[in-house]
Amino acid sequence: MIKELISEETRPRVLKDEDGILLNLRGLNLNPDSDEEDMVSLHMWIEPGRIITTRSERVFPIDDIDQSYQKGDGPRTAAGFLIRVLDGLTDFYQLTMAQGYCEKGKTEQAVFDLFYRENPSGNGYAVFAGLEQII
């Protein structure tokens, strides 16, 4: 599995064996000076009691999880870790794709979803402005 973890292969996939699971995931490349069409690749090995991640570029969800651990409130289980990674890789995907369509001058009809996971600052409500641009 070490060979798979350091492989340059970026195709998303899941490989399972008796010891654990290898995941290759991709997400939007939000790094400065990156092309919006580029993707970042994240390789993960998950086994009981251990998670190993490798990447060739900065992957923001991993940075966010690292900061959570430094504050003492990181995920406590492999499932919690994986959920945080997947949430982070999919957040902003629709907005980034919509922005790319606008910047490229694409005029054909497209459908994008807008959502958020939690209200800011734990509030029980949210206020939206500028909806006429997205409705």
Question: Range with the lowest mean pLDDT among 25-34, 59-68, 80-89?
Answer: 25-34
Domain encompassing residue 54: 2-133
Q: Above 80 in pLDDT, residue 31?
A: no
For the segment 43-53, the average pLDDT, to the nearest whole number, is: 92
User: What integer pLDDT is reported at residue 116 of this predicted model?
Assistant: 64
For residues 129 and 53, the model is more confident at 53
Mutual orientation of helices 60-71 and 78-90 as an angle, nearest 10°?
130
Helix H or strand E encompassing 45: strand 39-47
- In sequence order, what are the residues at sequence separation of 6 or more whose Cβ sits closer than 8 angstroms to the Cβ of residue 89? 25, 26, 27, 28, 42, 59, 61
CATH code, domain with 87: 3.30.460
| Domain total in the chain | 1
The model's pTM is: 0.69
Helix H or strand E encompassing 24: strand 21-28
Residue 78 corresponds to which tokens in the numbers above? 């492999």
Mean pLDDT of the chain: 82
